[in-house]
Structure 1
Amino acid sequence: MEEKTGEVLSAAVLSERVVWAVDLVSGMAADLLGTHWNTTDVDVLASGEDAGGRKLPSNAWMALRRLGWTVGPVDSGGMFRAARTSRSSTGCDACPSTC
């Protein structure tokens, strides 16, 4: 359903939007992996602690944020990414109030 108009979306439009969102989140996850898939960063993550020795949060998006491993709010094409989309790329699909 289109929020502004209340119009029910056709299956084709809904499919197009889902494909777009999946591509966006996949690209964000690939950016994170491409940047941090190395021995040093994997060892930091595996230690379960941040640089200050604090235990990392159990939610992936919070742990990555604590480590400073984030994707920016704007993609390479200049499109704004919602925080919820950014969290989806790190494995959390719940809103911040439930994390």
Structure 2
Amino acid sequence: MNTLTTGFMMMRWEILSAVMMFFSSQLNVVCRKTSKHTLAFMCSGLGLSMTCWFVMGLMGMTFSIEAMTQFWMSSKEVFFDVMSKTPTNWPMP
């Protein structure tokens, strides 16, 4: 029974995240109407994190240390490559 329940919940994480996005949106609206800006900000953060989780689940992306390290290394290489191609007299604000 536990195996069936766990399997069902693992297949339904996308639905859970979509429901959480809806609830956080509704709570955000209610908190903004009652001038509870801190709670509205927290609900916005919850909605944003659930959106990222939803998209990662749909795209089949996993959150692991190896994937984050690979992303960081490739973005660092791209950043240094772009910065090495900028002119030396680039106007800085």
Same-fold status (TM-score > 0.5): no
User: Over alpha carbons, which structure has the higher Rg?
Assistant: 2
Normalised by the size of structure 1, how large is the TM-score? 0.31
Normalised by the size of structure 2, how large is the TM-score? 0.32
Which structure dedicates a bigger proportion of its chain to helix? Answer: 2
